[in-house]
Amino acid sequence: MIIYLAARRGVWSSEPQFRNNGSNRAVAHTVGTRTPPAPPVAATRGFTIISSSPEPPHVAQELSVPTQRKRKHVPDDDDAGSRLPSISTAANVLLIQIVSHGKHLARTVDLFPSWPAILRDGLEINECNRDIHDTFSEEEIANYEKFRCLLDTFTTTEAERFIVEALDEETGQTFTRRAAADLLAQVGQAKQNDNATLKPLIIRWLGCPDGLDQDAKEHRGFKHDETAKYLLPMSQHPFSTQKRLDIDDGKIALDSGDWPVFLWHNNDCGNDPSRRRKGLFRSEILLKAAKAVFTSPSSANGSARSRRQTNASKNNMTEVNPATIAYIATLVYYGLCSDGAFNPTTNAGFDLQAFYHGVKEYLELEMDTERGKKLFKWWNKNLFPNAQTKARPNGPRFPAFDDNDDGEESEGQE
């Protein structure tokens, strides 16, 4: 089930409410089937959402109070050094729930979140009785949207309890800091688990070319023709070994807005700018990676699905959203490159964080177009063939596409 969260005229709607204010930003989320708690009645105007800031270096610092506006429910900096009281048994149960759902939030909401800021802003806006659009920044409102996605992983009673525990005058600081730390840890765990799954599979999907090891990465990326054919920026299409060498030597710079050709069906982004949308986000390697992460590695190879509970079934997931596809695209890029550690920017200079947000924002803009509806229908049909779903996904820089490009799919891709 997909829930769209948008504040407009004081009513929370199950339909998307977006406004283009020039920033071309929007937001929507994948959640479970539970009913979220009632939102604040103070949200009286529509708003546009932007991406969250990069992950902060220290949880306690992000949860401190800015000097320009007193945070009602977050302790002052002067209190940070004091001994934090223990939280209740009920609060500990909620933290266990967070751990069980934290990885899914990384896969479907934000791969590079600032959970301390999300909790801080979410709690304050949730208690706001003023016009949030006039009172808070776009980034703070974006954090509130992600906070709502966290609450949606709970039952209504659990979500209400979460708010109570977080706002407790004595133990709220302890609870929110532990919650933020647990959520950040789960983001790292999701990346670690999924990268470990994809690292050998990607080489198998390429046919195990000579010189590429399933368990090692140092010869991948632009050090080998077969992986470079997938990572090649669309501006350099078609591939040649000389282009690969020039990129590896730094003669051709990588740009996160110059998308890799593996996003396209058969790695063919075409040379006609008016047809660049044809086959975009319909590549075999993307779909296989999504199956490996969400429905089991065996399903990615066309085998019978595992009888074990999958990441999708654990979270009642039957549809993809823009963040889902962006997450998979980012992990596939990392799996193809030669880096041994996942960092926001690769050793070759490709900004994975900007790439993730660019893909996510592009898909959020596309999702209510006819092209977008067809694309998400294709994803849902192929990733969750047994689910009876509608083609409605949840919901910077990305390539410039010709406005006359209708994105018509090539034969066999629908």
Domain map (residue ranges) of the chain: 2-189, 206-383
pLDDT of residue 188: 96
On average, the pLDDT of the chain sits at 80
pTM, rounded to two decimals: 0.75
pLDDT at 120 over 60: yes
**% of the chain exceeding 90 in pLDDT:** 62
Q: How far from the centroid of its chain's Cα atoms is residue 277's Cα?
A: 21
pLDDT class for 279, splitting at 50, 70, 90?
Answer: very high
pLDDT at 410 over 80: no
- pLDDT tens for 71-89 read 544 444 334 334 557 888 9
Distances (CA, A) of 151 to 98, 105, 154: 10, 11, 6
Distances (CA, A) of 290 to 182, 190, 299, 301: 25, 13, 10, 12
Determine the Cα–Cα distance for residues 193 and 199; give it in Å rounded to an integer.
Answer: 10
The residues, ordered by sequence, that sit 6+ positions from 177 with a Cβ below 8 Å of its Cβ are: 59, 60, 63, 84, 116
